[in-house]
Amino acid sequence: MKRSDSKPAPVYMDYAATTPLDPAVMAAMQPYYTHNFGNASSVHSLGRSVRGAIEESRERIAAYLHAKPEEIIFTSGATEANNLACNLLGAQEHLITSSIEHKAVLEPVKVLEACGVQVTRLVPDLETGSLTRCQIADAVGPDTRMISVMYVNNETGAVTPLEEISTLRDEHDLLLHTDAAQAAAWLPLNVDQLGVDLMSLSAHKMYGPKGAGLLYVRDRVQLIPQILGGSQERGRRGGTENVAAVIGMAAAMGLIEKNRDTHAARIRQLRQDLQAQLLAAIGDQLVISTPTNAAPHILSVAFKPANGHPMDGEMLLLNMDLEGVYASAGSACTSGAITPSHVLLELGIPEVTARASLRLSLGRPTGAEDIRRTVDCIDKVVRHMQARRQHEG
């Protein structure tokens, strides 16, 4: 039998950055790239057919969220949805958020603050990695209009207790917004149960297409459009609809609803195995930033300096890439930056350690062999880098 010299397939441990398109989602999208290509605003039968497909997708998605179809606004992704939600705020109104939000919230909030919006950025509880109801309650004032907190932190996997926080919404007549991009594939998205008024989602985090997302907007909320020049989405988001992406997002959400809890339990166990094996291999040099009650798929680790020598986080990732394991340093949206993660710094991780961080994120295709290879790779790379630094003095 002829021996194969080919390398094993790479191990993908970056599902929090993006997920592969499910073949069933691709099949659902394909007709809308070819023969069913009409503009949904056209009055002829081809346009009406496409309009019907969009509205059917809206109804399906609304059902998954336990929302009304008219409460769903299709966007290009969670970043646009976050911006659209934040733009509800006007001068002198007060926003409460956390210091570890995704930059898709933090950056528009900076602009709003410069325009007169009052902003309170709360540091999360260091044990849970998220804000508590008590923290937010203490920050609520007479001008507070909105609370914006992510459902699942994209770097640590910490889960925000939205149901507890939502009681403040009713007590003080506030709006509660959440970026739920990292929660979509793993946790329930019932908007009434969570008690949210606005929710941002992105299709490519749940085995759907890139460039597709939505903002759920409870019907009592009046949005201010930020993309003008068209009457699409009931006048709330102008521009010809990305029809195939809308169809794909609905198909993806339908697939993740199937056996979600079973998949989540399996991935949670694999993440726990990954953490245990890394601790056994690396020892006290390893810092775990993911809390015990985190979402199933994310493990955030960082490396303390060894014998006075800091670990080079960029070289760590590059060497892992050469070994065939793909991961990221915190958010994929900030990859390439030399600054340490703002999330880890806010959680009290020293800068020299935060610069050597890894976000290892699992997906439905992840198996036990992927965990073993990832641990072997990290152990090998860390030992090699440490030996080299000691040799260089």
Which of 1-15, 180-194, 202-216 is predicted least confidently? 1-15
Position 337 pLDDT exceeds 80: no
Structure tokens at 3: 């021996």
380 CB neighbour count, 10 Å cutoff: 14
> Residue 331: its pLDDT value, please?
56
Q: Is 102 exposed, middle or buried (0-12, 13-18, 19+ CB in 10 A)?
A: buried
Catalogue all structural domains in the chain, each as residue range(s) with its CATH number: 23-257 (3.40.640.10), 260-392 (3.90.1150.10)
More confident residue, 180 or 225: 180
Q: Alpha-carbon distance 363 to 380, whole Å?
A: 24
Edge-to-edge strands, sheet with 357-361:
286-288, 298-303, 357-361
Position 174 pLDDT exceeds 80: yes
pLDDT in tens, 286-324: 999 999 999 999 999 999 998 888 999 999 999 999 999
CB of 343 closer than 8 Å to CB of 120: no
> Residue 2: its pLDDT value, please?
44
Mean pLDDT over 53-59 rounds to: 97
Q: Alpha-carbon distance 319 to 335, whole Å?
A: 15
Backbone angles phi, psi at 365, to 5 degrees: -75, -10
> Residue 5: its pLDDT value, please?
56
pLDDT in tens, 74-125: 999 999 999 999 999 999 999 999 999 999 999 999 999 999 999 999 999 9
> Which pTM does this prediction carry?
0.94
> Residue 1: its pLDDT value, please?
35
Structure tokens at 167: 């009681």
Q: What angle do CA 221, 223, 228 make, to 5 degrees?
A: 160
Confidence band of 334 (pLDDT split at 50, 70, 90): low
Task: Give the bridge partners for 31, in sequence order.
Answer: none
Can you list the positions of beta strands (E) in 26-130?
A: 72-75, 94-98, 118-122
> Residue 262: its pLDDT value, please?
96
CB of 102 closer than 8 Å to CB of 121: no
Q: Alpha-carbon distance 244 to 349, whole Å?
A: 43
257 CB neighbour count, 10 Å cutoff: 13
CB of 297 closer than 8 Å to CB of 361: yes
Which percentage of the chain shows pLDDT scores above 70? 95
> Residue 338: its pLDDT value, please?
54
CB of 340 closer than 8 Å to CB of 243: no
Closest of 138, 141, 149 to residue 172, by C-alpha: 141
Q: Alpha-carbon distance 74 to 305, whole Å?
A: 46
CB of 95 closer than 8 Å to CB of 117: yes
Confidence band of 244 (pLDDT split at 50, 70, 90): very high
Active-site residue set? 333
Residue carrying structure tokens 């014998």: 307
> Residue 368: its pLDDT value, please?
98
* Helix (H), strand (E) at residue 361: strand 357-361
Confidence band of 3 (pLDDT split at 50, 70, 90): very low
Mean pLDDT over 212-231 rounds to: 92
> Residue 73: its pLDDT value, please?
97
